[in-house]
Amino acid sequence: MKKLPLGIQSFSKIINGGYSYVDKTQYIYNLINGASYYFLSRPRRFGKSLLLDTIGEVFSGSKELFAGLWIHDSDYDFTRHPVIRLDMSNVSNKTPNELEESLSSKLKKRIGEEGLSIDDKIPSDMFSHLIESLHKKYDQRVVVLIDEYDKPILDHLTDIETAEANRMVIKGFYGVLKSMDAHLRFTMITGVSKFTKTSIFSELNNLLDITMMEEYANICGVEIDSLDEYFGEHIKSLSTHKRFAHRDNIRNDILSWYDGYSWDGETRVLNPFSLLSFFIQKRFVGFWFSSGSPTFLIKLLKEKPESFLELKDLKMLEMSLDRFDIKKIAVNPLLFQTGYLTVKEVETFGDQDIYSLTIPNLEVEEALYLDIIAEFSEKDSDFAVSSYRRLEEHLKAGDLQSTLLVLRALFASIPYNLHVDLEAYYHSIFYAVMSVLGLKMNVEVSVSGGRVDAVLELSDNIYVMEFKYKHCDPSASPEERRKLFDTALEEGMSQIHKKGYYKKYLSSDSASSATPYNGNNNSRNSVSGNDNSVKTVHLVAFAFLGRDNIDMRVEQLGLDM
């Protein structure tokens, strides 16, 4: 059983150290024999760095390292080329001046290693002269591999001024490559985000973007068909571990947790970092998310909470997925590019491809929702974990009074200065809580009378919910707050009744008059759900006041049908 190369980004170290390597060399062969300039976007911890290092070894003529791999027995001749490898994650970028100085330092080091003499001070000039000099020295055109090209920008998305200044520095630096065409054999640039071409690569307009190309959909990650080939022994060994003795199909559980990523809507790959971490630690947890979640993304979701409610059945054009503008960041493309959403299906209408997006797997879903709760309520994830089991028990039992007490504690924990004066903000927190529970709450559900804010269907209970928010002045009296609550609750329940939001959940012969739910009502007029089981339908109005943590209240009114 081969060792697991967790965190190892050096191809030679993996091969010489006897680690498992998922063969991606046929993809590399196709790249080499295709275009000359490539761009690839993939989420962090997805194997981009190892891919570039492997390409570097191919171009360095290290044929012996590839014994047993696809490319070794191909017609590729392993001609040696000089390779320039720049990892922008190792370049300092706190200010544009520091970024330029750090780039200069990296280039000077390489210049010294090659025994060259280049007197330029400006990084872009040093870069171009290094390429020319290496071509002349080795009489072979140069290979340029740039990893994490967008790091100097992504590190400063909460500081637009610095992000924009750094963008201008790297735009000029990367632009040098276009004028170096006569000296370059192969160029590949990778990163997380896909900035618009005019913002970063306006000069380098000959890049072939393979991010969404079907033939390169699985260039990073572990394909399902490869799971047994490369990790079958590790899966088999888990069957004897006490932690997994009760699991009928460990392989399927692995797929549920770490599979699901797709860039073509047809094939899927597993997150390699999470998969390797799972085999080493032998437990199902969110390894990828815990390795460093982008705080700017979570904060952006907080500023635009309605985006969080739109994650289900999201459809976008490819041109929309490509957009990343520093001054006007769109949430959904960023969620896709950073790995929180993936392609579920691709539909073609005329000349346009429409991408249906979804959350890829349990790892991302659970961790994202916990982080949303923590950010929106300024409580850590432990707070959410300690509460959600009680919520689950109360909801499944139809005990709305106890459910309300737990929800009150959650919403009362939000400090006054963190409140967002939007109904969608509170709706998002509630949705995140339900999702963490594994309770799939459907939002903005279309019915004949309109759109229901949320519906939660459990084995014995159906909850039809309407959310109402009223702004409350901090100086309001208890009587004024009570009046606002009553108004909001009356509006919510009235809307449910007038628009008949609950009717689709009642069988044709079971409609009856509603009776108020007071939390202690044990008599229920049950109805048949779509699965022919007897269910209770609850009509619930939630009222939120934008107040500090003392006066914040959540009220609900349920009706048993």
pLDDT (tens, 9 = 90+) of the chain, 561 residues, equals: 899 999 999 999 999 999 999 999 999 999 999 999 999 999 999 999 999 999 999 999 999 999 999 999 999 999 999 999 999 999 999 999 999 999 999 999 999 999 999 989 999 999 999 999 999 999 999 999 999 999 999 888 878 899 999 999 999 999 999 999 999 999 999 999 886 555 788 777 788 999 999 999 999 999 998 999 999 999 999 988 888 877 878 999 999 999 999 999 999 999 999 999 999 999 998 888 665 556 667 677 766 666 666 676 688 888 787 766 677 777 888 888 889 899 999 998 888 889 999 989 989 887 777 777 666 666 555 665 666 677 778 877 878 778 877 777 777 666 555 556 677 777 777 777 777 666 778 888 887 778 898 898 887 788 888 988 888 887 888 898 889 889 989 999 999 999 988 888 875 333 333 333 333 333 333 333 444 455 788 888 888 886 544 445 555 444 443
DSSP conformation class of 341: S
Helix (H) or strand (E) holding 456: strand 450-457
Question: Any residues with CB less than 8 A from the CB of 126 and at least 6 apart, and which?
Answer: 104, 107, 108, 111, 118, 120
Domain with CATH 3.40.50 in the chain: 11-216
- In the three-class reduction of DSSP (H, G, I as helix; E, B as strand; rest coil), residue 127 is classed as helix
Q: Beta-carbon neighbour count of residue 57 at 10 Å?
A: 20
- Residues 461 and 474 sit within 8 Å (Cβ to Cβ): no
Q: Beta strand pairing status for 314-317 and 527-528?
A: unpaired
Beta-bridged to residue 84, according to DSSP, are: 144
The b-or-e profile of 333-362 (16+ CB within 10 A means b, else e) is: bbbbbbbbbbbbebeeeeeebebebbbbbb
The runs of H, that is alpha helices, within 464-526 are 478-498
Q: Domain 11-216, what fold?
A: Rossmann fold (3.40.50)
- Residues 172 and 179 sit within 8 Å (Cβ to Cβ): no
Closest CA to 258 of 278, 238, 240: 278
The structure tokens listed for 554 are: 């959540």
Query: Which amino acid, one-letter code, is at 6?
Result: L
